[in-house]
Amino acid sequence: MAHNGEMNTGLDIGANSIKAVAIEPTKTGFTLLAASDCRLNADSTENGLVADYGELVQGIKTITEKGSFPSKYVATALKGPSTFARRLSVYSESVSELNETFPWIIDQYVCLDPEEMSLDFEILGEGERYRHIKLLVVGARKDTVTDIVSVIESSKMIPRVIEPEAMSMARLFRAVSPVKTGTCLLLHIGYVGSAAVLLSDGVFDFSGEIDLGGRKCTDIVMEELGLGRDEAERVKKDPGSHSDPEAARIALMDKFCRPLAVQAEKILKLYSYKGGGSPYKIMLSGGACETFGLTDALSEKFSVPVEYLDPWKVVDMSKELEKTVEASGRYAYNVAVGLAMNGKVY
């Protein structure tokens, strides 16, 4: 964990791109000092795991040199099945005892082998039952952590914070949105897949993965409408640009947006089985979150407001950096911004 006042470069290593952000606190929020990104080959990462070591190292070097980042310290996020985040209520006589019994607790409550995992926890408060403590437990496979640390160090940066992607999303939410009592659903629409992150009173509570992302949406538009990839990328945001706008809208709604809403509903049902509440609103994030019809499909399914999780409400930027951000999409830098806020936003 970074200490207050220390600056981290937020580094988001995605399935098809790397994005980096540096921010500095101001009296009213933050200011953007640097932002940069680069595209990756599709095989550079797979399910959040390093697949092409050399390309990732060169990609990080390229964007950090191009962006003139003021800090070599990096906060980065892990994603996919090799990561873990869960809230637990566990019996413990004291915090000191909890530190000693933590490996046993993990083995009993979440069926993980602590020897294979890098694990950490944060105490959230007293549990509802006598001598129970509420914990937020996060972790990742040790080999996954070792690989990403090696990539960052080989790019001449210094890894300081490594956390599950859901944590950076939750932090960004607390920075930009008034925290209300109840449940909020964050949907981060990525390139290969999407993540559903459920917050209770602004704190991470549950997460699930959705196997639909921007690449699948593009493939659907190409197949349904007989388009090339570049044109499909344009049509999925603006079906009116197609010669048959109604056919484009129907393809997007029926083949991508509504199926994604159904998968989100399944995650919410699982969450409700564990005692979670229904969301009072849904917030969209990620490079593919502006896909046409997605807000309508989610509103139709859940009957709650659907908004965009916009970091630029609290992060000011110059006109030059605004061009860099808008070139990738307004919400494509969200994870990187959330990471850069580590140590500055609870």
Work out the percent of the chain whose per-residue pLDDT is above 70: 93
Say yes or no: 21 and 31 in one domain: yes
Say yes or no: 96 and 229 in one domain: no
Comparing CA positions, the residue from 124, 127, 251 lying closest to residue 199 is 124
Residues 100-120, mean pLDDT to the nearest whole number: 74
* pLDDT number for residue 111: 66
pLDDT over threshold 80, residue 92:
no
Residues 222-243, mean pLDDT to the nearest whole number: 95
Q: If you average pLDDT over every residue of the chain, what do you get?
A: 89
Say yes or no: 189 and 217 in one domain: yes
pLDDT over threshold 70, residue 5:
no
Say yes or no: 158 and 189 in one domain: no
Say yes or no: 199 and 277 in one domain: yes
* pLDDT number for residue 178: 83
pLDDT over threshold 80, residue 140:
yes
Residues 15-40, mean pLDDT to the nearest whole number: 92
Say yes or no: 63 and 162 in one domain: yes
Say yes or no: 40 and 184 in one domain: no
pLDDT over threshold 70, residue 37:
yes
pLDDT over threshold 80, residue 6:
no
* pLDDT number for residue 129: 65
**In the 3-class helix/strand/coil scheme, how is the chain assigned residue by residue?**
CCCCCCCCEEEEECCCEEEEEEEEECCCCEEEEEEEEEECCCCCEECCEECCHHHHHHHHHHHHHHCCCCCCEEEEEECCCCEEEEEEEEECCCHHHHHHHHHHHHHHHHCCCHHHEEEEEEEEEECCCCCEEEEEEEEEEHHHHHHHHHHHHHCCCEEEEEEEHHHHHHHHHHHHCCCCCCEEEEEEECCCCEEEEEEECCEEEEEEEECCCHHHHHHHHHHHHCCCHHHHHHHCCCHHHCCCHHHHHHHHHHHHHHHHHHHHHHHHHHHHHCCCCCEEEEEEECCCCCCCCHHHHHHHHHCCCEEECCHHHCEECCHHHHHHHHHHCCCCCHHHHHHHCECCEC
How far are the Cα atoms of 82, 299, 302, 323, 344 from residue 139, in angstroms, in the given order?
9, 33, 31, 36, 22
How many domains would you assign to the chain? 3
User: Of 54 and 22, which is predicted with more confidence?
Assistant: 22
Residue 323 lies in domain = 1-83+145-177+310-346
How does residue 4 score in pLDDT terms, banded at 50, 70 and 90? Answer: very low
Q: What is the CATH number of the domain that holds 136?
A: 3.30.1490.300
* pLDDT number for residue 133: 81
Asked if residues 311 and 132 have their Cβ atoms less than 8 Å apart, the reply is no
How does residue 135 score in pLDDT terms, banded at 50, 70 and 90? Answer: confident
**Partner residues linked to 91 by β-bridges:** 132
Say yes or no: 45 and 74 in one domain: yes
How does residue 127 score in pLDDT terms, banded at 50, 70 and 90? Answer: low
Say yes or no: 22 and 169 in one domain: yes
Say yes or no: 20 and 93 in one domain: no
Say yes or no: 134 and 155 in one domain: no
Contacts of 51 (CB under 8 A, 6+ apart): 43, 44, 45
Mean pLDDT is highest, among 56-70, 82-96, 226-240, for 226-240
* pLDDT number for residue 216: 95
How does residue 112 score in pLDDT terms, banded at 50, 70 and 90? Answer: low
Q: What is the CATH number of the domain that holds 56?
A: 3.30.420.40
Residues 236-249, mean pLDDT to the nearest whole number: 96
Q: What is the pTM of this model?
A: 0.90
Say yes or no: 168 and 61 in one domain: yes
